[in-house]
Amino acid sequence: MQRVAVLGLMALTACSDALEQSTSAGQVVVSVNAVSGTLSLVSVDDRSVSSVSVPPTGSAPRSIAVRGDLLAAPGGDAAALAVFDFSNGAPPVVTTRNLPSNSGATGVALESDSIAWVANPNRNSVTRVNVRTGDTASSAVGVYPQAVAVTGGRVYAINKNLVSGTPAGPSWITVLPVRGGSPPAVDSIPLTGTNASYATLGPDGLLYVIDAGTPDKGDGKLSIVDPATAVEQVVLNGLGESPGPALYHPSGRLLVASPVGILEVNVSTRTLLRGPANPVRVQGNASVAALAIDGAGRVYAFDRGNCTQPGVLHILSQPPNYDDLQQVAVGVCPSAAATILVP
């Protein structure tokens, strides 16, 4: 089953080809910063930080996807997809591809090194973008799609099902074929939770969908979905208020960003190890908006604060200790993160 990087509103904390190597040499942890409209590039080797603007001017990027040395970031209301090619190192070569007007583009997934899929919540659609030529084609999906994943010749649009910013009922997933693929046997997968906002594809081939729930209700959930059978296999309650994107850690934990720190799910037993009452607390009881890991299993936890000042990246040792090794400043309002290998 093909593995791709996925970020919901990112997000999609993303898995990356960079994590398949045995060391972290040459790896860069990237955050996308919604208010400053930038990428922060943090070298895993020396932890130096550089910045790259996300075009066009006025972009409010909240998600990224990584595949090989390619990174894609939708620009929100800017109706554009910024594509960063790191094949010749940093700074990257940057290309901008147009999206449908008033798309509110959020989630993104890379099907290949030439095809991206972008969720357009304002238009209830997803757009297939050829990042090499700029050609686009849009398809209708459900209500307010927020994240997108691609695997096994299928596109999975995660629909929040919001009306006027409020959950109108349970979320669901719309299933589409990739170009030239056969129609799916099932075109919709119901979800139990509401306000499905983030999805990550695990190495086990399953989709881990974070249902953020209704604001102030504390009813966040995790839906584990099997794309092959188009079934929501398991629902874990207890993620609390507005959980964020999830990260599949090689220790067998699913780490979930949360306003109270980092939550942990045991993937093999499908149980909540550390919930909102007992989270992994980041120094200063920081809220965690996005997560990434490097080849050594270290965890990168991004605190965006109030989104008026630079965010803070906490570099943590691998589970279960999560020692706070270093803190560095990044752009304003980090909203998603991934790891990429830069030659």
**Model pLDDT for residues 245-292, shown as the tens digit of each residue:** 999 999 999 999 999 999 999 999 999 999 999 999 999 889 999 999
Q: Do the domain assignments include residue 314?
A: no
Q: Do the domain assignments include residue 48?
A: yes
Q: With a cut of 60, say whether residue 214 has pLDDT above it.
A: yes
Q: Do the domain assignments include residue 163?
A: yes
Element (H, E) at 217: none
Q: Do the domain assignments include residue 261?
A: no
pTM of the predicted model, to two decimals?
Answer: 0.91
Residue with tokens 């992994």: 280
Q: With a cut of 90, say whether residue 185 has pLDDT above it.
A: no
How far is the first Cα of the chain from the last one, in angstroms, to the nearest whole number? 27
Region 124-144: mean pLDDT is 97
Region 190-210: mean pLDDT is 96
Q: Do the domain assignments include residue 280?
A: no
pLDDT band at 15 (very low <50, low <70, confident <90, very high): very low
Q: DSSP for 45-96, please give it.
A: TT--EEEEE-SSTT------EEETTEEEEE-BTT-EEEEEE-TT-SSPEEEE
Q: Do the domain assignments include residue 322?
A: no
Please, which contacts does 240-243 make with residues 24 or more away whose CB atoms are closer than 8 Å? 240/275, 240/276, 241/213, 241/215, 241/216, 241/217, 241/276, 242/212, 242/213, 242/215, 243/210, 243/212, 243/213
- Position 8 scores a pLDDT of 38
Q: With a cut of 50, say whether residue 11 has pLDDT above it.
A: no
Range of the structural domain that residue 138 is part of: 6-242
Region 150-155: mean pLDDT is 95
Contact by Cβ (8 Å): 338, 64: yes
Q: With a cut of 60, say whether residue 130 has pLDDT above it.
A: yes
Q: Do the domain assignments include residue 194?
A: yes
Token couple for 308: 């008026």
Q: Do the domain assignments include residue 305?
A: no
Token couple for 187: 């075109």
* CATH classification of the domain holding 99: 2.130.10.10
Distance CA 314, CA 47 (A): 11
Region 222-235: mean pLDDT is 96
pLDDT band at 209 (very low <50, low <70, confident <90, very high): very high
Tell me how many domains the chain contains.
1
